[in-house]
Chains A and B, each alone.
Chain A
Amino acid sequence: MSEITIEHLSVSFTRRRAGAFAALQDVSAHITPQTFVAILGLSGSGKTTLLNVVAGLLQPTSGRVLLDGRPITGPGSDRGVVFQQDALFMWRSVVKNVEYGLEVKGMPRAQRRALAEHWLTVVGLKDFAHFFPKELSGGMKKRCQLAMVLANEPTTLLMDEPYGALDYVTKCQLQDELLALLHTTPKTTLFVTHDIEEALYLSDRVLILSRGRLIADMPVTFDSPRTNDLRLSPEFAIAKQRLWRSLDGATQQRPLSLTGLPASIPEQP
């Protein structure tokens, strides 16, 4: 069912001269199955680090992360990761990229080809199955990565600023596609972003990280299905402003005060 429990998680890196640097400090959160959680924070706040720990690519320095009650020991195909960089196997065609995870599972050739083609259809890349990644645009590469991850049928989806480098309209399209997809096959999703609007539009809950600490945790209660009209509604603007203020406060040197922030972001009337 994939329920994620983060308990007093700290991660520190050794830097060459400066000694230990804490990228995450005492982060705790409980994420119920099939919720969409956006992790918001400024550059360098530890978002990727948190995601990497959940993905099993990074060992916590202290504390632990449980997946369905069991500690995470390493990466696994139950958690699909869409990376911040364009991580595609450049030497494989699009469809062969999507097949990779199925290959690892030892699925016979015909079966995995059929499955890969199905997922390419889902993300709208059917006609590009035999292209090399170099022939795809940025948005298509993201779609390809998503198909690659989805083909593995993970129960948890971990996405690291997947739409960071895209134009506004494409970004909105991909967001809608993602929501539609998760509607049919619900998954627990951790979605890292520094885009306030994206976080609000997609998620059921927003976690804000600042300098390695979890400084806010708020539910987002807009109705679903969400449409582009929501982006322009006054409620959305208010919620956006509040998130903005808490992020802005995070950049100030003075200790952050959480007073004035709402406990939750109001439901759409």
Chain B
Amino acid sequence: MLATSRPHRQRRALTYHIASLVALLAFWWLLSYYTNSAHIIHGASALPSPLSVLNAIAGLSVFLAPGTPTTLAHGLAALWQNTLVSAERLLGGVLLGAAIGITAGLLLAWSKLVRLLVQGPVLLVRTIPLMALVPLFLAWWGGTSFGILAFIAFAVFSVVVISTVEAAGNVPPELVNLARTLGAARFRIYRTVILPAIVPAVIGGLRVVIGIGWALLLAGEYLGAQNGLGHVLIMAEDYLYTARMALIVVMIMVYTFVLDRLFTLAADWITRWMPKD
């Protein structure tokens, strides 16, 4: 364990990493080859091969408009369109929820009376498993885009408001005192001390919700939406279009990865003043 040098082990780890990906892809391909010959369910393969996933792009053309010719360009357009719809719900919900959550959290941190009054109901609502709340939002907004956006916004809000209040309570008192001795009034202290000091905690809370963001979105889109990636996915299940299902899953994976990277980059830049560890 101690014998091998560090760079050597890192090189070896990279070899394993790449080998694992190659093995995974090969395994998928072989398994799909086997299931294609042995396990056909209603004319569809139970596990589509990587190639058929790529071919499924063209098939999405039907989502553009009824009667659209099935071409790769139309398929990509349809994919893009549904991506935009989903992204709008996801990002809109996250932004809306975060904005309301931070504002409400700061207001709560301002007044102890209000904080104590709201504490009970917030905890009560927070104990409900978030995804179990979809039906309520669907019943209120009937599966409209706004209903799903509102659901995501609510989920984000419920996480962010709690981390904001907690963080505001944890701001080191000496920082507040420092601002006071430099002559700052209460509102300025809120703007220039409390607000920046809670940023890392709020980002931490946001990271948690963004991690389950796609799950929330899919929950909303499964249960009632007329478009969006979740809708395409659940429709594909009904018709047993497994290649199309796999395509959507792969796309979601790509989006999740990209979103996560962007978020991490932005978060690292915003909190660049923080001591690391």
Contacts and interface: CB of A to CB of B under 8 A. Distances in A.
Nearest to A101: B182
B273 A87 contact: no
A152 B183 contact: yes
B180 A75 contact: yes
Interface stretch (B119-127, B169-177, B221-229): B169-177
A91 B174 contact: no
B273 to A, nearest CB: 4
A262 to B, nearest CB: 36
A80 B181 CA distance: 6
B183 A87 contact: no
A101 B177 CA distance: 13
B234 interface: no
Contact of A77 (B174, B182, B188, B196): B182
A105 B178 contact: no
Given A89-B175, A91-B273, A133-B273, A104 B181 contact: no
Interface in A28-85: 55-57, 74-77, 79-81, 83-85
A13 B179 CA distance: 24
Contacts of A128: none
A214 B196 CA distance: 41
B82 to A, nearest CB: 39
B272 interface: yes
Given A90-B274, A100-B192, A76 B183 contact: yes
Interface in B247-277: 272-275
18 contacts: A56-B180, A57-B181, A76-B181, A77-B182, A83-B174, A84-B174, A85-B172, A85-B174, A87-B172, A87-B175, A89-B178, A89-B192, A89-B193, A90-B273, A92-B273, A101-B183, A104-B184, A152-B183
Nearest to B177: A57
A74 B177 CA distance: 11
Interface in B186-223: 188, 192-193, 196-197, 199
B183 A75 contact: yes
B183 A104 contact: yes
Interface residues of A, number: 30
Nearest to B197: A91
Contacts of A79: 181
Nearest to B188: A104
Interface residues of B, number: 21
A83 B172 CA distance: 12
Given A85-B174, A89-B196, A100-B192, A55 B181 contact: yes
Interface of B: 172, 174-175, 177-184, 188, 192-193, 196-197, 199, 272-275
A87 B175 CA distance: 6
Nearest to A85: B174
A134 interface: yes
**Closest 5 pairs (CB-CB, A-B):** A77-B183, A101-B182, A134-B275, A81-B181, A87-B178
A121 B250 CA distance: 57
Given A91-B196, A134-B273, A134-B275, A100 B181 contact: no
A85 B67 CA distance: 71
Contacts of A85: 172, 174
A77 B181 contact: yes
A81 B178 contact: yes
Contact of A91 (B179, B182, B188, B199): B199
Contact of B182 (A100, A133, A134): A100
A147 B178 CA distance: 13
Contacts of A75: 177, 180-181, 183
B255 to A, nearest CB: 31
B193 A132 contact: no
A23 interface: no
Contacts of B199: 91
Interface in A87-106: 87-92, 100-101, 103-105
A132 B272 contact: yes
Nearest to A160: B174
A191 to B, nearest CB: 16
Given A80-B182, A88-B178, A104-B182, 17 more contacts: A57-B180, A76-B181, A80-B181, A81-B178, A84-B174, A85-B174, A87-B174, A89-B175, A89-B196, A91-B196, A91-B199, A91-B273, A100-B184, A104-B184, A132-B273, A152-B182, A152-B183
A200 interface: no
A199 interface: no
A132 B272 CA distance: 9
A50 to B, nearest CB: 15
A100 B179 contact: yes
Interface-central residue, B181, B196, B274, by most chain A CB under 10 Å: B181
A125 interface: no
A104 B197 CA distance: 18
Contacts of A148: 182
B96 to A, nearest CB: 25
Given A83-B174, A87-B175, A91-B196, A105 B183 contact: yes
